[in-house]
Amino acid sequence: MLSHSPFSDGRLASCLRLLAAGDALLLTGDAVYALAADTVQRQALELMPDSVALFALEEDLQARALVSLPARLTAVDYSGFVDLCTRYARVNSWL
Amino acid sequence: MARSMLIVSRQSPWSGPGAREALDIALAGGAYDLPIGLLFLDDGVLQLAPGQHGATLQQKDLTANLKALSLFGVDKLYACARSLADRGLANTALAPAVEILDAQGLAELINRYDQVITL
Amino acid sequence: MKFAIALFSAPHSPASRRALRFAEAALAGGHEIVRLFFYQDGVHSASANIVAPQDELDTAAEWSHFIASAQLDGVVCIAAALRRGVLDAREAERHGRPAANLAQGWELSGLGQLHEAAQQADRLICFGGH
């Protein structure tokens, strides 16, 4: 789980290197800016292997008016966020 | 069986209490005999550089806390090879000694633990 | 499922509100929260002295209300709290400070409480940063 802007911070790059098959990435807060069109961060997310699932917190997408999102992205509300945490064996938040 | 915890420390020792507070979580877990691993990642590897002098900045340096890890039974220490290389520490003798892992090794490490705290 | 939730950011951070909404959704979904643990700048959530502007969300007050109404265990790391000026009456007296500001319903304790919660929970979920 990431929550920092990918434009001013190395967490996204660092996290992407640690992802393994069967993992999922959840973008929250300013981390959803990684989905902005025409950015290298968006490109990096699109290039993740299919075995890594991509999620974002819906309220953060809406607040930032992020549209034309990647087809592989699933937006979740808080109930979906909780479900994700039950579905994966551990949750690693990049504080 | 006790659930294991990997603590991922990403902060430089000079950026505020963050690095010390990450070590404190590891030491507290060790005090309860819990299976604790500690991974130094990103700026966290800077904690392992030798010869640092906290007194210059009127700070306690982290050396004592790092040494205490083994006394508290926290002896599973790891560092990210890339983080070390990016910071010019690839060929430096680190203190305390840690197991250095590549990206594949890091992904496997995280999956071996029940819980992860990255700070 | 049993969750332990740890918060590392101050109540004015977006992460604090996110943690609160997550905790509410976890209970609404029929899950259990074994403990809320506040560490680093998260300890400010337990300050009774935060005055949010009237037209802004008062996340600290919401935390206090949530913990009281759901009868949850809200534990603040004592070492992190002392460093940041969040004291209960006992600590204020011990350190000769003029006032205690730990809000009602919260408890100062050690990091052992974080580990105990992590042992009891199926998942430890941490919130922090922005």
Nearest to C129 among A85, A86, A95 (CB): A95
- A38: helix, coil or strand? coil
Rounded Cα gap, residues B29 and B74, in angstroms: 8
Q: What is the pLDDT along chain B (119 residues), one digit of tens a residue?
A: 899 999 999 999 999 889 999 999 999 999 999 999 999 999 999 999 999 988 899 988 788 899 999 999 999 999 999 999 999 999 999 999 999 999 999 999 999 999 999 99
Please state the pTM of the whole predicted model.
0.96
What's the pLDDT tens digit per position in C17-49?
999 999 999 999 999 999 999 999 999 999 999
What value, to the nearest 5°, has the Cα angle with vertex C25 and ends C20 and C27?
A: 100
Residues of C that are catalytic: 77
Rounded Cα gap, residues C38 and C124, in angstroms: 13
Which residues contact residue C54 at a Cβ distance below 8 angstroms, ignoring those fewer than 6 apart?
Answer: none
Contacts of B119 in chain A (CB under 8 A): 95
Closest residue by Cα to residue C21 from C5, C39, C34: C5
pLDDT at B61: 79
Closest residue by Cα to residue C129 from A12, B62, B46: A12
What's the pLDDT tens digit per position in C58-89?
999 999 999 999 999 999 999 999 999 999 99
Q: Which two tokens stand for residue C35?
A: 């403990």
Q: Which two tokens stand for residue A1?
A: 């789980």
> Which chains reach chain C with 3 or more Cβ–Cβ distances below 8 angstroms?
A, B
Residue type, C46: A
pLDDT at C17: 98
Rounded Cα gap, residues B119 and A62, in angstroms: 28
Domains with residue ranges and CATH for chain B = 5-118 (3.40.1260.10)
Contacts of B5 in chain A (CB under 8 A): none
Secondary structure percentages of chain A, helix, strand, coil, to 5: 40, 15, 45
What value, to the nearest 5°, has the Cα angle with vertex B12 and ends C47 and C115?
A: 50
State what percent of residues in chain C have pLDDT above 90.
98
Backbone angles phi, psi at A88, to 5 degrees: -105, 145
Contacts of C20 in chain A (CB under 8 A): none
Residues 65 to 104 of C: which have CB under 8 A from any B CB? 79-80, 83
Using the predicted structure, report yes or no on whether residue C1 has a pLDDT greater than 90: yes
- The Cα of A86 is separated from the nearest Cα of chain C by a number of Å equal to 7
List beta partners, residue B37: B6, B76
- The Cα of A1 is separated from the nearest Cα of chain B by a number of Å equal to 10
pLDDT at B78: 98
Q: How many CB atoms lie within 10 A of CB A72?
A: 13
Using the predicted structure, report yes or no on whether residue C125 has a pLDDT greater than 90: yes
Q: Which two tokens stand for residue B7?
A: 């603590």
Closest residue by Cα to residue C84 from B110, B16, A10: B16
Record: fold of C2-127? Hypothetical Protein Ychn; Chain: A, (3.40.1260)
- The Cα of B58 is separated from the nearest Cα of chain A by a number of Å equal to 27
Rounded Cα gap, residues B5 and C102, in angstroms: 29
Q: Which two tokens stand for residue B19?
A: 């690095």
